[in-house]
Structure 1
Amino acid sequence: MSIHRTIVPAAAELAQNTAAPFEQAKAMPKSVYTAEDFAALELETIFAGEWLCAGRADALKGPGDYLTMEIAGEPIVVLRDRDGKLRAMSNVCRHRMSTLLQGTGTVRAIVCPYHAWTYNLDGTLRGAPAMGKNETFHRDEIRLPPVRCEEWLGWIMVTLNSDAPPPSERLKAVEDLVGYLDMRAYTETFRETHRWDTNWKVLAENFMESYHLPVCHAGTIGGSTDLNTMVCPEGTDTFNYHTILRNDQVKLCLAHPDNTALTGDERRTTWLLAIYPSLLITLTPGYFWYLSLHPHGPGQVDIIFGGGMSPDYMADPDAPSQLAAVKKMLDHVNEEDRGCTEKVFKGLNARLAGPGPLSHLERPNFEFAQYISRRVNGQAG
């Protein structure tokens, strides 16, 4: 995919910022979060060209089940067709260009709300009222433009980039790390959408480091985390990660008592995976939750927030009550994160603010900054 890249001042600042070795690293420059031209550059060089997560494949169980999203200003619908195949396509009518579907739901066909042009679930045009007198109209030649869509470890991944390597290739190292937990088998039990008043990178970085947990999350999960046992290894060009060894404060974090396949620390290890650019997954032996982010200008972020449980817990008679307790906790965690990340964005706009040095527990943030810099500055990877 050929993308015209325009270098803006914030991109040059970021390149200089990330040129330092990690031992001398500082947080990203303020302009990277606040500049309108940098936000536009991110849409062009990152979101229009990378694989983005639309949610979990098991959320679209039957024919006609759909969800909608936007990629760099492009309305997209993802659905399951009559043959059970996942498809993504333009969510814009080929007639007068109205958007078609909204939110999530189930349809037998896609009907334009403006003039009732009707499309099959494979995107082909089924019918269009009162078009018989137009000599240029040929129903068989009209369809909704397809968008690349693949299922990867149970995730729905979509991209506008016809040249992007498939997720199974680009993210093979993720499966090598956490394949023993088999993300495909986890079941999604909730999915929500939110918009927060912060930059998307602030929220992404917040997920990537657990340095903030004891303070920002003192009222929820902070007590289950020991900073001294946290591991932040080097990541890759496509993702970063860190792990936490959990105590028994949150039972669902641990392997189910009936699970005999996991041993030792595998039974209590939580993985925090940041798949570039914006899929953030917390994966435990018992449950998972995730955020999929998309910028809405410099100062807001659109969020898909979902989660569910492993097969062992889904089969447990007490699973609903356990999940309800965890979901209640996650909602509180989200409110804490919202408060912290919106405060950060307010601070980023302060005249007297400036980036400070990073902790060794913020290695993922530094690697994320390097990834952003490579993309906006037109470098490979």
Structure 2
Amino acid sequence: MDSTTKTAGGIETSYAKTLLPVTQAAHPTGEMYHDPAVLEREKQVIFGEDWLCIGRAEEIANPGDYKTFRLVEQPVLLCRKSDGTIAAYSNTCLHRGVEVATGAGNTKEFTCPYHGWLYNLDGQLIGAPYMRDSEGFDRKNCKLPALPCETFQGWVFVSLNKTPEKFETFIAEFAEKFGYLDMEPMRLGIQRDIPLNCNWKLMVENFIDFYHIGVLHKDTIGRYMKTTDVPYETRKRGQVFINEYDAGSHTKSGEVFVEPIPALKDKPPRFSQAGVLTPNVNFFVRPDYVMLYSSWPVDANTMIMKQFIVFPRHIVESPGFPEVKRQFLEMSDKILGEDFAMVESLQNASRARHFVPGRMSRLEKGVQHFILHNLDRIYGERQMATAAE
């Protein structure tokens, strides 16, 4: 029996210690992080069902702008239509399935490079050479498959499920917590894709694991970040919110290095918030910028982490922004480098024959909540509203 078809009893046997209250619980067994069968199940019931954040609206600011993605192997085309709205399509020609666009750019129409089928920005087929003799074929009835697409304060979401839950329901608790930031007028200052040799869940867990900060990051953010009393707030759907805590900006001193976001101008200089928007987004608020990280599986043992940093628009457009970016990345890369070494070591541990996962700390309450949610999605219908106390 593979790991995704366990009976309820089997789940209890394999993960009994993980299901206990956090002060009694242990971490899950390694199959959660290296078994291809688990990932295939995640592709179906998590990534194939949920709303997924894929970037910022300003990345396709003008009519005809487009970007292409592969979301868990599914080809997606995102474009700004002539009327200014954003649309998402399956990036597959209706003839043989070849991608009708690659990379990013600006265009008035999409042309399949194989046989020349032509589509407008609405996804409508407007040209198909040598198809007049094909009986019953009418290009007027042919459109690229549209995918549900929504935005929240400039962040773009799509779903691979043609009938997902209402976006308003999906985003409601996140909007309640972070909607005050008014991120719509902010602008993307940094965007990077970073490959990692670990399972996608390990990166999400790492970002809400405050237990490691005083040890691993003792020479970086651990110098000025208090982590002994983490104000975790666990919500439905595996979401974790970390209310106001003392952290600071990604500078050597932790001090704000550009003027604060308008909504945060009256907050303390080390004001911070964080959260997990399932399935794969980690979100961090600092006085002068907002960070969003999304973790995407490549296979069970490798992933791509997308890093998005948004700042007030006038900061991004100022002549001094290259220096701001340089300073940010200098510190960010030190912190992330420390994390990357650990999550890749965790991945190795998931396959270690003699390793038995150890007990959890109370500081891992948020991590446990996320883990339990994924266990629910993969193996059962328990759908806990809160993690075990």
How does the TM-score come out when normalised to structure 2?
Answer: 0.87
Q: 2:71 corresponds to which residue?
A: 71
Equivalent runs, 1:17-96 vs 2, <5 Å: 17-96=17-96
Q: Which moves more between the two structures, 9-18 or 319-328?
A: 9-18
- SS of 1:227's equivalent in the other structure is coil
Equivalent runs, 1:258-273 vs 2, <5 Å: 262-265=265-268, 267-273=269-275
Does the 8 Å CA contact 1:17/1:29 hold for their aligned counterparts? no
- SS of 2:188's equivalent in the other structure is strand
Shift in CA distance, 261/278, structure 1 to aligned 2, threshold 3 Å: closer
Equivalent runs, 1:269-280 vs 2, <5 Å: 269-280=271-282
Q: Which moves more between the two structures, 226-235 or 81-90?
A: 226-235
Looking at structure 1, the residues matched to 336 and 185 of structure 2 have their Cα atoms a distance apart, in angstroms, of 25
The Cα offsets for residues 132-190 of structure 1, whole Å up to 9 and x where unpaired, read as 33233311111110000100222111112234223332222222222332232321122
Q: 1:174 corresponds to which residue?
A: 174
Q: Cα distance, 1:275 vs. partner?
A: 0.5
Q: Which moves more between the two structures, 269-278 or 329-338?
A: 329-338
Amino acid at match of 1:296: V
Shift in CA distance, 298/253, structure 1 to aligned 2, threshold 3 Å: farther
Q: 2:232 corresponds to which residue?
A: 232
Does the 8 Å CA contact 2:51/2:170 hold for their aligned counterparts? no
The Cα offsets for residues 72-131 of structure 1, whole Å up to 9 and x where unpaired, read as 432111111111111111101111111222233322211112122111111101212232
Among 329, 333, 338, which residue is 1:327 paired with? Answer: 329
Among 357, 367, 370, which residue is 1:355 paired with? Answer: 357
Looking at structure 2, the residues matched to 254 and 236 of structure 1 have their Cα atoms a distance apart, in angstroms, of 35
Task: Please tell me the root mean square deviation across aligned C-alpha atoms, in Å.
Answer: 2.6
Looking at structure 2, the residues matched to 255 and 166 of structure 1 have their Cα atoms a distance apart, in angstroms, of 36
Shift in CA distance, 114/86, structure 1 to aligned 2, threshold 3 Å: same
Q: How much identity, in percent, do the aligned residues show? A: 27
Q: 1:246 corresponds to which residue?
A: 247
Among 349, 369, 372, which residue is 1:370 paired with? Answer: 372
Looking at structure 2, the residues matched to 66 and 351 of structure 1 have their Cα atoms a distance apart, in angstroms, of 47
Tell me how many residue pairs correspond in the alignment.
375
Looking at structure 2, the residues matched to 14 and 211 of structure 1 have their Cα atoms a distance apart, in angstroms, of 25
Q: Which moves more between the two structures, 215-224 or 7-16?
A: 7-16
Segments of 5+ residues of structure 1 without an aligned counterpart are none
Does the 8 Å CA contact 1:253/1:284 hold for their aligned counterparts? no
The Cα offsets for residues 268-304 of structure 1, whole Å up to 9 and x where unpaired, read as 3222211011011112221122221221221011222
Segments of 5+ residues of structure 2 without an aligned counterpart are 384-389
Q: 2:303 corresponds to which residue?
A: 301
2:135 pairs with 1:135: yes
- SS of 1:211's equivalent in the other structure is helix
